[in-house]
Amino acid sequence: MRRRVYVRARQTSIKNRIRHVAAEYNADRKELFTSEGLKYLRGLKLDPVDRWLVQRLLRELKLYRDDLKAVDRQLAAFARTAPAAEAGHRALLNSIPAVGPVTREAFLAEVAGPERFGSQKKLTSYVGLAPGQRESAGKRHDLGITHSGSPILRWVLHQAAWQLVRRSSPWRLTFERLALRRGKKKAITAIAEAAVSDAGRHPQRTAVPRTAVSDTGDSGGRLTSPCCGSGRSSRPGGATERPELKRNASACVARTHGTIRMRSAWCGGAAT
């Protein structure tokens, strides 16, 4: 998986260098690396030195494209020969919106399996998306995320979080509310943290209901996110069962010591 990340980074670097040369002739185009764009690039009138450089870069780009295809074939073959437990983890990850093959393989390569961790909180801390804290003289200050663990996995999870926000209306509404209060960077990190919690569910683990405080800051009662219902009222004396609100794990917003956190909510029933 790390080889794939390296190859993709090299491809991006080569494309940027070619675009830099084309921009000097005012010839850069958005579709420069499509089949039509490459024909256009080969027909440009360039200085001999720049032409030689572009040809070398295009040859190098082709080698990395072939290398990327070989890496993807190897990853697919590796997935087909996986044991039953790992196949179950892949099926669970495939059920999460916006999680594709790259996110799935990166998560399994860096985490191995969610059963290694006693809780989703420990998994989030291992990935490096948990917020840090500093305490002195009885006063506690919230810090940014710890950045521990694999930077590749954190980058992949952030990209998956952006796709989740674009494709899912409930997640998009949650992101927009958080972005207004905390900024887009913190909001998308909160969505990525929620994605880790959902990805860390063990297929055989029994779900435990959890509620979350509303991000509106209301103190009288608890609310869940638009995509989740707890199945119980959390107001005092309001333990009436509401089966129509029970759903599988979704994202809920928790307000803890002034910090907005996204957590996966176990809303009744076994994980599917």
- Same domain for 35 and 55, yes or no, is yes
- Same domain for 171 and 228, yes or no, is yes
58, 81, 104 — which closes off a domain? 81
Cα distance between residue 160 and residue 104, in whole Å: 10
Helices (H) and strands (E) in the chain, counts: 9, 4
Residue 271 lies in a domain: no
Domain count, the chain: 2
- Same domain for 109 and 210, yes or no, is yes
50, 81, 112 — which closes off a domain? 81
Residue 133 lies in a domain: yes
Contact predicate 211/252, CB 8 Å: yes
Q: What was the pLDDT predicted at 201? A: 60
Cα distance between residue 21 and residue 10, in whole Å: 17
**Average pLDDT in the 203-222 region?**
35
Q: What was the pLDDT predicted at 199? A: 66
- Same domain for 102 and 76, yes or no, is no
CA 210 vs CA 91, 191, 246: distances in Å:
24, 18, 11
The band of 257, judged by pLDDT with boundaries at 50, 70 and 90, is very low
Mean pLDDT of the chain: 74
- Same domain for 258 and 148, yes or no, is yes
pLDDT tens per residue across span 151-206 = 888 888 888 899 889 888 888 998 999 999 889 988 898 888 887 876 666 444 43
**Sequence-separated contacts (24+) of 136-145 with Cβ below 8 Å:** 140/257, 142/257, 142/258, 142/259, 145/189
- Same domain for 40 and 95, yes or no, is no
The band of 50, judged by pLDDT with boundaries at 50, 70 and 90, is very high
- Same domain for 183 and 59, yes or no, is no
Domain enclosing residue 165, as ranges = 88-265
Residue 270 lies in a domain: no
- Same domain for 92 and 74, yes or no, is no
- Same domain for 128 and 162, yes or no, is yes
- Same domain for 108 and 220, yes or no, is yes
- Same domain for 42 and 169, yes or no, is no
- Same domain for 7 and 105, yes or no, is no
Render the burial of 219-247: b for 16+ CB within 10 Å, e for the rest.
Answer: eeebbbbbbbbbbbbeeeeeeeeeeeebb
Sequence-distant (6+) residues with CB within 8 A of 229 are 242, 244, 245, 246, 247, 267
Asked which of 14-23, 48-57, 126-135 is least confident by mean pLDDT, the reply is 126-135
Highest mean pLDDT among 81-85, 112-116, 217-221: 81-85
Q: What was the pLDDT predicted at 13? A: 95
Render the burial of 25-43: b for 16+ CB within 10 Å, e for the rest.
Answer: eebeeeebbeeeeeeebee
Asked which of 14-23, 112-121, 148-157, 239-248 is least confident by mean pLDDT, the reply is 239-248
